[in-house]
Amino acid sequence: MPVSTGANANINIRVDGEVKNKAQDIFSALGMDMTTAVNIFLRQAIRKNGIPFELVTEKPERKPANLVE
């Protein structure tokens, strides 16, 4: 694993404004800011050597409420 130089790097990304605001609300409720959340994601990606959650191509089939066991 590379040795950290201690220098910070900036990342600029474009996201939908509503997505950003909803995510900020969630992170705020968790006591963190967007930078902390993104750093957690990046560190988990490194740790898992990939995306740190499952990616799927189809939505799961949803059962009507009266059919749920």
At position 10, the amino acid (one-letter code) is N
* Amino acid at site 45: A
pTM metric for this prediction: 0.71
15-49 pLDDT, tens digit each: 999 999 999 999 999 999 999 999 999 999 999 99
Rounded to 5°, the CA angle 52-57-25 comes to 50
Please state, in angstroms and rounded to a whole number, the distance separating the CA atoms of residues 17 and 56.
24
Strands of the chain, DSSP E:
none
